[in-house]
């Protein structure tokens, strides 16, 4: 005899909410001309947004006042359009989550900074870059830009500098004679795991693969890590497509999402484009800039045909 159909529970679980509509982003820094490497990563981002019937946001990551220039912002917009990029929100066309230039979003970064500070996630650090380079544990330094911080100013035990005894100010300050950067204290030994949408399972160990990282710089400027997390969350980005050189940044950023109690987006890391010698393309390689290629009469379709994308996306 067939089993009777089980009775439905009196309070069936509520159906899952529909998934949020896909929102991707292009986040160039206008510190130079965009090159083919940017174009390929951005193209994958655009294709993924289209494949998911989603939208694409253009955000100008122009926090580095010393290196960002208006002429590069203009070149970025022109070159992206020439290449065939189309975005639905951005500095040129606006949108519901603007402004779309980081230099105009300081209040959001400051609020996140205050939250991290109130939660005890960050501490002031007076070390200069030179101090850190000379004290860094060289064998584990993860890249040339940010050696692992040796913990000199970490508020732990007697040998470490302590934070100011008085109640801390509500915003970062710079006492006379000291340049204070604020660092996020990473949970040493914790494995930061995430499932990359392209590269599969990824894991990094906090304190070994990366150390306490700067979230706020002495010149009243948030770091890339903090600004990026604040903006991706505020702009409701559901998937971040970026180069594989930023895998460690993603691990750091996941710690920020957790500390700020925000849900992280998904991540899709693209292999980096290299030149004929195997070296990574960089903004200083003028010959592969979109601008020079355009001036040389290249067409975007031909350039795309030369990309060797190992995996379908
Ligand atoms: N502005 C950063 C860059 O150009 C963005 C990196 C990211 O995708 O988060 O490298």
pLDDT in tens, 149-206: 999 999 964 333 334 433 344 444 445 557 899 999 999 999 999 999 999 999 999 9
Which residues, other chains included, contact 10 with Cβ-Cβ below 8 Å and sequence gap of 6+? none
Measured CA distances, 221 to 225, 265, 271, 304 (Å): 11, 24, 30, 37
Task: Report, as residue numbers or ranges, the catalytic residues.
Answer: 283
Handedness of CA 89, 93, 96, 102 (dihedral sign): positive
Which residue ranges form the domains of the chain, and what is each CATH number?
20-103+274-313 (3.40.50.620), 105-234 (3.40.50.620)
Which pLDDT score is estimated for 126?
A: 94
For the whole model, what pTM was predicted? 0.85
pLDDT of residue 312: 44
> Distance of CA 297 to CAs 277, 301, 302, 308, Å?
24, 12, 11, 21
Token pair recorded at residue 32: 């130079």
Q: How far apart are CA 212 and CA 122, in angstroms?
A: 9
CB 22 within 8 A of CB 50: no
Q: Is 63 in the pocket of ligand 1 (CB under 6 A)?
A: no
Distance 28 CA to ligand 1 centre (A): 6
Q: Which one of 24, 80, 224 would you pick to mutate in the ligand 1 pocket, going by the greatest count of ligand atoms within 8 A of its CB?
A: 224
CB of 59 closer than 6 A to ligand 1?
Answer: no
Share of the chain above pLDDT 90, in %: 70
Phi, then psi, of 196 in degrees rounded to 5: -75, 140
Distance 255 CA to ligand 1 centre (A): 18
Per-residue pLDDT tens digits for 101-128: 999 999 999 999 999 999 999 999 999 8
Query: Which of 182, 189, 116 lies closest to 155, judged by CA?
Result: 182
The DSSP-derived string for 103-157 is GG-HHHHHHHHHHHHHTT-EEEE---HHHHHHHS-GGG--SSS-PPP--TT-S-T
**Residue 168 and residue 285: Cα distance in Å, rounded?**
45
Q: Considering only CA atoms, which residue is closest to atom 6 of ligand 1?
A: 27
Say if residues 225 and 233 touch (Cβ distance below 8 Å): no
């Amino acid at each position: 005899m067939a089993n009777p159909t089980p009775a439905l529970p009196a309070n069936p679980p509520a159906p899952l909410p529909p998934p949020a509509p896909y929102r991707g982003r292009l986040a160039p820094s206008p510190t130079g001309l965009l090159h083919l490497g940017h174009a390929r990563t951005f193209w994958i981002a655009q294709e993924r947004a289209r494949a998911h019937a989603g939208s694409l946001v253009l955000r100008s990551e122009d926090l580095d006042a010393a290196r960002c220039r208006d002429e590069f912002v203009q070149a970025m917009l022109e070159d992206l359009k020439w290449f065939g990029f189309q975005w639905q929100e951005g500095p040129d066309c606006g949108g519901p989550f603007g402004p779309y230039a980081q230099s105009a979003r300081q209040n959001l970064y400051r609020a996140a900074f205050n939250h991290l500070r109130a939660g005890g996630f960050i501490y002031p650090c007076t070390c200069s870059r030179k101090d850190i380079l000379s004290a860094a544990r060289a064998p584990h330094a993860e890249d040339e830009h940010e050696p692992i911080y040796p913990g000199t100013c970490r508020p732990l035990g007697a040998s470490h500098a302590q934070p100011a005894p008085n109640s801390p100010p509500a915003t970062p300050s710079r006492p006379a004679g000291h340049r204070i950067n604020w660092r996020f204290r990473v949970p040493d030994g914790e494995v930061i795991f995430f499932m990359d949408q392209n590269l599969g399972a990824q894991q990094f160990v906090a304190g070994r693969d990366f150390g306490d990282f700067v979230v706020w710089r002495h010149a009243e400027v948030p770091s890339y890590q903090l600004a990026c997390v604040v903006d991706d969350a505020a702009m409701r980005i559901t998937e971040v497509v970026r180069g594989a050189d930023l895998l460690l940044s993603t691990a750091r950023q996941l710690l920020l999402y957790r500390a700020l109690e925000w849900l992280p987006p998904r991540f899709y890391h693209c292999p980096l484009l290299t030149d004929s010698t195997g070296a990574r393309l960089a903004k200083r390689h003028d010959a592969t800039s979109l601008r020079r290629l355009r001036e040389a009469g290249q067409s975007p379709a031909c350039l795309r045909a030369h990309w060797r994308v190992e995996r379908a996306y």
